[in-house]
Amino acid sequence: MPDPTGADRQRRWRERQQAGAPWQPPVCASCGRNSSGKYRDLCRRCWERLTPEGRAAKAKRVRQSRARRRAV
């Protein structure tokens, strides 16, 4: 299960280092790919596709990219 914040990920990392527990990468709840935990329980691709925040972030990047192309 991915952690919601960087501090939680760091804490879990330190606990694993002390205990010698094997590391298992978080898995995306939608597609099963490895996930960083940055986007809750989704990988980046699914986050962009399935959430309103992800779709808005992708649309913003596309607008910026097109604006840069037009400026040249």
18-68 tens-digit pLDDT? 887 677 788 999 998 988 888 888 999 999 999 999 999 999 999 999 999
One-character DSSP codes across 12-69: HHHHHHHHTPPP---B-TTT--B--STBTTB-HHHHHHHSHHHHHHHHHHHHHHHHHH
What pLDDT band is residue 72 in, cutting at 50, 70 and 90?
confident
Q: pTM, whole model, 2 decimals?
A: 0.62
pLDDT at 31: 93
